[in-house]
């Protein structure tokens, strides 16, 4: 049995993390969280989480960066916005979850081979290259990177998609696909090649 | 009535039955749609997790293209696209720093977005621009006897309730009743289908799908009507996994536009009804009499 402390150490805090998150557009209201737990109550996925949304709010505000970014919770959020709508303090919890996901991806501290960050990453790469998503290519790529076994478990779904004419591997691409990369470079403050 | 039409990636891929049924139905009602030229990915849920500002920039290109097209309004049928395009618009108005980034990125590709273009869902257009009376007049084969569970999912009512009630939306209920169908009470109408978790974390995602299907069956629904390509994909595509874990719950899931097409008497082939893994076999039996019967 693995022994874990039941209280948190001051030393585990990363000073300023909470402030940093609360300075992001959409995340300001976190400061006013009253820890009522409404978010955890309405969340359809909280039963699978290691920390409930209420706990993630408290941990974030109290600077427990590592604990939050390593939590399964942020990857279980399906962006259904139930918590955001119900929160009596009007905290945009879904947007805070998005921000935490971004930090975790950026710092590379999500569980290895965990499919959701891989999906998010491949999705953005495909959009940058083609401007659109070819769903089947994205799904196949995901399975190749994560688990062949999971793909085999979904064989019925694959057959159904072929049978109903929805299995298409033809790459969708916009005419001005160079525009997407140029816009992304402009966001990053890069000059980029002249148009 | 003419609108700029933003299909989104799903309506060209896994959700093609949505587009296949939406276009003829809108045409039948005299709504003109012009597909947005060279549209790109809306910025979607998965992109939001990578970079929210970049997701807004992707959405902004579409909004700028829509303005450039000269058509004042954009119709976005996919729930995720609808949300992201609206969210980008909110951010554009609420956060000067994000607006500046959006402006800079659009400038790099010679586009401009003023922040006006309304982004609207087909349900909104059908109820508020076309009107239920005009829709009723087009019904040739009423859906009499069909029991429908209307399922709205998350993102057309949350977080922005733009044209319907956030907790108990009724636009699709009223539409289905106008087509002659019976709407069953379905308290889970805005509960989450699990989104992409069905694929990435099936133990959690499949359970949410099961809960939705099981409730529809318990309420005696012949089908679930949906407005979102991902909801349709999840509720229709994962029956084998649901069966393996919880037992068979074979309720078919169709797009609301497919039911509209059936009521309008459009041929099955135009409605993408062959696209579902769990086939929807119910068909309206009798056509309305062409003229009212004359008393002898």
Q: Which residues of chain A does B194 touch, with a Cβ-Cβ cutoff of 8 Å?
A: 44, 78
Among the candidates A82, A107, A132, a domain finishes at: A107
Percent of chain B scoring above 70 in pLDDT: 97
On whether residue A94 sits in a domain, the answer given is yes
- In this structure, the answer to whether residues A95 and A163 fall within a common structural domain is no
How many residues make up chain A in this entry? 195
Cβ atoms B236, B164 nearer than 8 A: no
Identify any residues that bridge with B32 across adjacent strands, giving them in sequence order: B2
Q: What is the mean pLDDT of residues A162-187?
A: 92
How confident is residue B252, by pLDDT bands cut at 50, 70 and 90?
Answer: very high
Q: Which residues of chain B does A156 touch, with a Cβ-Cβ cutoff of 8 Å?
A: 240
On whether residue A7 sits in a domain, the answer given is no
CATH for A70: 1.10.1060.10
Among the candidates A107, A134, A169, a domain finishes at: A107
Note which residues in 68-87 of chain A have CB less than 8 A from chain B: 75-76, 78-82, 84-85
Q: Inspect the interface and report whether the beta carbons of A79 and B48 lie closer than 8 Å.
A: yes
On whether residue A56 sits in a domain, the answer given is yes
Instruction: Indicate whether B292 pLDDT > 60.
Output: no
By Cβ distance, the residue of B40, B203, B240 closest to A156 is B240
The continuous run of DSSP H or E covering B245 comes out as helix B239-246
How confident is residue A195, by pLDDT bands cut at 50, 70 and 90?
Answer: very low
On whether residue A6 sits in a domain, the answer given is no
Q: Could you list the residue range(s) of the whole structural domain that residue A181 is in?
A: 115-187
Whether chain A has a CB inside 8 Å of the CB on B246: the answer is no
On whether residue A1 sits in a domain, the answer given is no
- In this structure, the answer to whether residues A183 and A140 fall within a common structural domain is yes
CA B66 to chain centre: 20
Q: Inspect the interface and report whether the beta carbons of A165 and B192 lie closer than 8 Å.
A: no
Q: Out of A22-26, A168-172, B209-213, B290-294, which region has the weakest mean confidence (pLDDT)?
A: B290-294
- In this structure, the answer to whether residues A21 and A103 fall within a common structural domain is yes
Among the candidates A87, A107, A127, a domain finishes at: A107
Q: Out of A191-195, B20-24, B232-236, B254-258, which region has the weakest mean confidence (pLDDT)?
A: A191-195
Q: Inspect the interface and report whether the beta carbons of B202 and A150 lie closer than 8 Å.
A: yes
Cβ atoms A150, A143 nearer than 8 A: yes
What is the Cα–Cα distance from B25 to B48, expressed in whole angstroms? 32
On whether residue A5 sits in a domain, the answer given is no
Higher pLDDT, A55 or B50: A55
Neighbours of B55 (CB within 10 A): 26
Residue ranges of domains in chain B, CATH in brackets: 2-120 (1.20.1050.140), 139-275 (3.40.50.11810)
Q: What is the mean pLDDT of residues B24-30?
A: 98
Domain count, chain A: 2
Q: Inspect the interface and report whether the beta carbons of B46 and A150 lie closer than 8 Å.
A: no
3 state DSSP class of B77: coil
Nearest-CA distance B217 → chain A (Å): 20
Higher pLDDT, A76 or A139: A76
- The structure tokens 């749609």 sit at B33
Nearest-CA distance A184 → chain B (Å): 7
pLDDT at A117 (0 to 100): 80
Cβ atoms B5, B31 nearer than 8 A: no
């Amino acid at each position: 049995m693995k022994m874990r402390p039941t209280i948190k150490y001051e030393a585990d805090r990363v000073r300023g993390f909470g402030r940093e998150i609360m300075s992001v557009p959409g995340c300001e209201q976190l400061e006013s969280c009253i820890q009522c737990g409404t978010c955890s109550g309405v969340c359809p996925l909280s039963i699978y989480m290691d920390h409930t949304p209420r706990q993630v709010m408290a941990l974030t505000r109290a600077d427990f960066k590592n604990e939050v970014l390593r939590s399964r919770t942020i990857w279980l959020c399906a962006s259904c916005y139930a918590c955001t709508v119900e929160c009596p303090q009007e905290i945009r919890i879904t947007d805070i979850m998005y921000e935490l996901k971004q930090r975790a991806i950026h710092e590379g501290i999500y569980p290895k081979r965990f499919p959701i960050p891989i999906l998010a990453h491949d999705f953005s790469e495909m959009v940058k290259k083609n401007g659109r998503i070819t769903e089947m290519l994205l799904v196949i790529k995901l399975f190749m990177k994560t688990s062949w076994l999971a793909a085999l478990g979904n064989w019925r779904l694959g057959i159904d998609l072929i049978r109903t004419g929805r299995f298409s591997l033809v790459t969708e691409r916009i005419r001005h696909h160079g525009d997407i990369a140029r816009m992304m470079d402009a966001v990053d403050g890069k000059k980029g090649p002249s148009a | 009535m003419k609108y700029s039409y933003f299909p989104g990636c799903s309506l060209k891929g896994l959700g093609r039955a949505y587009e296949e049924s939406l276009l003829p139905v809108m045409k039948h009602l005299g709504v003109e749609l012009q597909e947005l030229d060279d549209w790109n990915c809306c910025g979607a849920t998965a992109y939001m997790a990578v970079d929210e500002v970049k997701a807004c920039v992707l959405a902004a290109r579409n909004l700028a293209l829509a303005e450039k097209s000269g058509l004042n309004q954009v119709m976005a049928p996919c729930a995720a696209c609808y949300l992201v395009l609206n969210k980008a618009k909110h951010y554009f108005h609420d956060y000067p720093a994000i607006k500046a980034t959006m402006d800079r990125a659009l400038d790099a590709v010679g586009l401009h977005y003023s922040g006006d273009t309304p982004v609207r869902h087909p349900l909104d257009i059908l109820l508020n621009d076309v009107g239920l009376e005009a829709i009723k007049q087009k019904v040739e084969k009423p859906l009499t006897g069909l029991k429908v569970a209307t399922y709205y999912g998350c993102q057309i009512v949350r977080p922005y309730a733009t044209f319907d009630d956030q907790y108990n939306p009724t636009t699709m209920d009223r539409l289905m009743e106008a087509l002659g169908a019976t709407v069953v009470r379905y308290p889970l109408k805005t509960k989450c289908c699990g989104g992409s978790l069905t694929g990435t974390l099936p133990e959690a995602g499949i359970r949410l799908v099961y809960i939705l299907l099981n409730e529809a069956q318990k309420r005696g629904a012949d089908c679930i009507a949906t407005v979102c390509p991902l909801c349709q994909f999840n509720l229709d595509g994962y029956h084998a996994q649901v069966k393996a874990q919880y037992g068979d719950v074979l309720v078919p899931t169709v797009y609301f536009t497919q039911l509209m097409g059936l009521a309008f008497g459009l041929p099955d082939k135009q409605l993408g009804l062959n696209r579902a893994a769990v086939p929807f076999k119910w068909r309206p039996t009798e056509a309305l009499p062409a003229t009212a019967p004359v008393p002898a």
